[in-house]
Structures are given as structure tokens and as C-alpha cells.
Amino acid sequence: MPLLRTEEVSVSFGGRRALDSVSVSAEAGRVTGLIGPNGAGKSTLFDVISGLRRPRTGRVLLDGQDITGEDPARRARRGLSRTFQHLELFGRLTVRDNLLVAAELGPGRRHAARTADRVLARLGLTDLADAPCDALPTGAARLVEVARALVLDPKVLLLDEPAAGQDAEETGRFAALLRTLAAEGTAVLLVEHDMSLVMTVCDEVHVLNLGTVVASGPPARIRHDETVLTAYLGKERP
Ligand code: ADP
Ligand code: MG
């Protein structure tokens, strides 16, 4: 049984269907990619999974339990952690303080400072610990969001375009981090436009287009799937 599963999740904004009966899953110990063109519904699906948006129909299951009705804080305590496509750091706080705010809410709250420093070291952010987040380049700020999600020691980690704004070297280190997290047993669900990152780091990929899942499978298969190429590239192939 996958650790995380959505079952036929639908969301509408006004009359517009943003998600139409979306069923995807993420397994412990694996990196699962969620790809698709802008507007496909990826961030909306993350909102549903993390509890920021109630689906019109459908369910979210964590470890077999229906968590569809639970608020985000409760889900976070269950081990569900996320980052945002539009960064949601406290800009005037330092990097360390952003982590401390999260650490105080998590299982390691009695050792919040130690937890924060351990995660900073792990992500190579120690030198930036005292910098205000406002002052960081995008690539580093995205890493801080990942760090903040990690202080909760999540079982499921949802990453919304975490590598946007990273340079090639940062992306290489980030790929290694994702594999390590998976090796430790975390279920990583990755929304990302960098196809070479997705194809090298993911065990499984779900492809969304216009709110529906058009393909699911290992990267090697997804890469050559005609439906995916058409949907993703937004044009017919010759
Ligand atoms: P993605 O993350 O794949 O780019 P989104 O989940 O952000 O896609 O958006 C999916 C669709 O839902 C888009 O058509 C978008 O315009 C629409 N949408 C997203 N959020 C809202 C909102 N708060 N109100 C109205 N429409 C929204
Ligand atoms: Mg998005």
C-alpha cells in the first residue's frame, strides 16, 4: 500500500475544473515525480494533499487513513510536510529562525535549536544561518524552504518546483539529497519542470494535463509516451 494516495480528487474554481478525478500515489522510500504544463493542477493537488483546499469530491489517504477532513496542522503532525512554488518564508527572519519556527511545532521541539542546526548543516546552509531570508538568491531560498520542511522529519515530503532558480551545481547536490531522503524511507513527491532532474531522480512519474492524469509510470516509459509528449510539449509531434 502506498504511504500517500489521492483517490479521484476533483477541484473546481468557479465553473472551471482544475482537477478531475485525480488518483496518484507516493510510496515510502521513493521519489515520485508529478509533472505537467503550467495550469495542469499540480499546485492545486498539493493544496488538497496538505489540507489547504478541500476537494469537491475524492479522498486523501495517508498510511491507509482518510485524512481528507483534517486541517494542515494535524496533517503536519502526522508527518506531511511541503514547500511552496511561491516561497512562503518569513522574509525578515533569519534562515535559522525560519527553521526554528517550524521546529517548535514538530516532534523535535524540545531540541528545536539542535534540530534546526542539524538540518542547516545537512543542506549546506550553515554559513547562511544568520542571513535574513529576504536577502537570499532564489536558489538558496528554495533550499531554505526544503530545510524548513525537513525539520519536521516528514514521512511524506511535497516539493513544489524546488529546483527553480538553482544553478547546475545546486541542482546536482539537490538530486543527491532527494535520493538520500528516499533511501531513509521518506516518500518524496516532486513537482518540477527540470526534466533531466525528474528523469534522473524519480522512481515513478505521474503526468497531469488539464487536471487529469494522462500517464503514470517509471521515467523511462514516460519519456517515450506519445500522450505525454503531446500534452507536455503542447503540440503534435511530426
Ligand atoms: P500548476 O501548479 O500545475 O501550474 P495550478 O494548480 O496552479 O497548476 O492551477 C490549475 C488551474 O487552476 C489553473 O487553471 C489555475 O488558473 C487554476 N487556479 C489555481 N488556483 C486558483 C484559485 N485560487 N482561483 C481560481 N483558479 C485557480
Ligand atoms: Mg504550480
pLDDT single digits (tens) 184-195: 999 999 999 998
Which residues lie with the beta carbon below 6 Å from any ligand 1 atom? Answer: 13, 18, 36, 38-44
What pLDDT sits at residue 176?
96
Nearest ligand to the CA atom of 83: 2
Q: Within a 13 Å sphere around the CA of 161, how many CA atoms are in the beta-carbon half?
A: 13
Q: What is the mean pLDDT of residues 27-35?
A: 98
pLDDT value for 235: 52
Q: Which domains does the chain have, with CATH numbers?
A: 1-79+154-238 (3.40.50.300), 90-152 (no CATH)
Q: pLDDT at residue 13 above 60? A: yes
Q: Residue 159's CB: how many other CB atoms inside 10 A?
A: 26
Task: Name the residue with the closest Cα to ligand 1, atom 27.
Answer: 13
Helix, strand, coil proportions of the chain in percent (round to 5)? 40, 25, 35
With 0-12 / 13-18 / 19 or more C-beta atoms within 10 angstroms meaning exposed / middle / buried, residue 126 is middle
Angle at 228 between CA 225 and CA 231, to 5 degrees: 150
Q: Which of the listed residues 6, 9, 13 should we mutate to test ligand 1's pocket, taking the one with most ligand atoms within 8 A of CB?
A: 13
d(CA 60, ligand 1 centre) in Å: 19
Poorest-pLDDT segment among 19-33, 48-62, 78-92, 224-238: 224-238
Q: Which atom of ligand 1 is nearest to the CA of 160?
A: 2
Bridge-based pairing of strands 204-209 and 187-191 is unpaired
Question: d(Cα 152, Cα 166) in Å, to the nearest integer?
Answer: 23
The protein residue with its alpha carbon nearest to ligand 1, atom 5, reads 41
The confidence score (pLDDT) of residue 238 equals 44
Rounded to 5°, angle at Cα 26 from 146 and 125: 15
Share of the chain above pLDDT 90, in %: 82
Residue 224 pLDDT: 85
Q: Whose CA is nearest to atom 12 of ligand 1?
A: 18
User: Is the full-model pTM beyond 0.75?
Assistant: yes
Torsion (CA) 139, 145, 147, 152 in degrees, nearest 10: -170
- Distance separating alpha carbons of residues 180 and 223, to the nearest angstrom: 24
Output the residue whose Cα is nearest ligand 1's atom 22: 13
Q: Give the residue from 1, 39, 2, 37 showing the smallest Cα distance to 17.
A: 39
Query: Per residue in 202-218, pLDDT tens?
Result: 999 999 999 999 999 99
Residue 237: the pLDDT is: 47
- Any idea which ligand is nearest the CA of 44? 1
